[in-house]
Amino acid sequence: MPTASDANATTAGLPGDIRRRGLMLVLSSPSGAGKTTISRRMLESDGNLSMSVSVTTRAKRPGEVHGKDYFFIDPTEFNLMVNRRELLEHAKVFGNYYGTPKGAVEEALRAGKDVLFDIDWQGTQQLAESARDDLVSIFILPPGARELERRLTTRAQDSAAEIAKRMAKANDEMSHWSEYDYVIVNRDLDESVTAVRSILQAERLKRRRQVGLSDFVRGLQAGL
Ligand SMILES: Nc1nc2c(ncn2[C@@H]2O[C@H](COP(=O)(O)OP(=O)(O)O)[C@@H](O)[C@H]2O)c(=O)[nH]1
Ligand SMILES: Nc1ncnc2c1ncn2[C@@H]1O[C@H](COP(=O)(O)OP(=O)(O)O)[C@@H](O)[C@H]1O
């Protein structure tokens, strides 16, 4: 993973002309809490944010598009990618395998573009180990257990057995909430999206990410 002082960083996502390295914005939550919905809203309104498209061995859900929601691959191909070290992180979740392809993410960060991830606590731990300075992690909590079950049922994307499996795992997933930089209880969707937007804007302005600041200040001082 290149360092934060990568010379190719650009001004993407910042006012003015200060070069910046891109960041990895991770949303994790128990299944059904709302991370996919929040992600979609974020992508609609932010030109400097792209979604990291994971590989998975899970079966495609109705309406999901290969190459957009996931790259749907078989376990043999998944293991090949792991062995070739083509994945930034990977994990087994609900009996399926998921992972983040390296290439697109590393290219975006170098170009000062931010990347949004919808990954579980295991993947987030791996990114924290390999690229802590690039990582901003947010845990999304549902407002209540019954509301979580209602959302999973209303979403109508999983069988009753699958919903029961995800509810059973929710406790284990939520036990990792304190490992995250930020925590949002997703009561009202608009408020949650506004909160994620605010976190992203603040993180973009962090001094250590604005790798072009010293040039900018020197230019400013030269003009005084
Ligand atoms: N570690 C890791 N987890 C992932 C990745 N992609 C998805 N996940 C997680 O896998 C879990 C199941 O995702 P999915 O099958 O889409 O179900 P959903 O959470 O109900 O939308 C969720 O916790 C996702 O955050 C990935 O690339 N890496
Ligand atoms: N704040 C909210 N209030 C009510 N329903 C919500 C809220 N956020 C998300 N939802 C709904 O809950 C369901 C699960 O959301 P989703 O984004 O698929 O969760 P996840 O990606 O975490 O599994 C979807 O039908 C979504 O429209």
CA nearest to 50, candidates 25, 14, 70, 19: 25
Measure the CA–CA gap between 170 and 166, rounded to whole angstroms.
6
Confidence (pTM): 0.91
Q: How confident is the model at residue 12 (pLDDT cuts 50, 70, 90)?
A: very low
The DSSP letter of residue 89 is E
Q: What is the ipTM of this complex?
A: 0.96
Q: Kindly list the domain boundaries of the chain, sorted by start residue.
A: 24-52+111-218
Establish whether residue 48 lines the binding site of ligand 1, counting it when its CB lies within 6 angstroms of any ligand atom.
Answer: no
- Alpha helices (runs of H) in the chain, residue ranges in sequence order: 35-44, 75-83, 102-110, 121-131, 145-155, 160-174, 189-204, 213-222
Domain 24-52+111-218: CATH superfamily, name plus number: P-loop containing nucleotide triphosphate hydrolases (3.40.50.300)
Q: Which ligand is nearest to the CA of 120?
A: 1
Q: How confident is the model at residue 16 (pLDDT cuts 50, 70, 90)?
A: low
Establish whether residue 23 lines the binding site of ligand 1, counting it when its CB lies within 6 angstroms of any ligand atom.
Answer: no
pLDDT digits (tens, 9 = 90+) for 80-106: 999 999 999 999 998 999 999 999 999
pLDDT digits (tens, 9 = 90+) for 174-217: 999 999 999 999 999 999 999 999 999 999 999 999 989 999 99
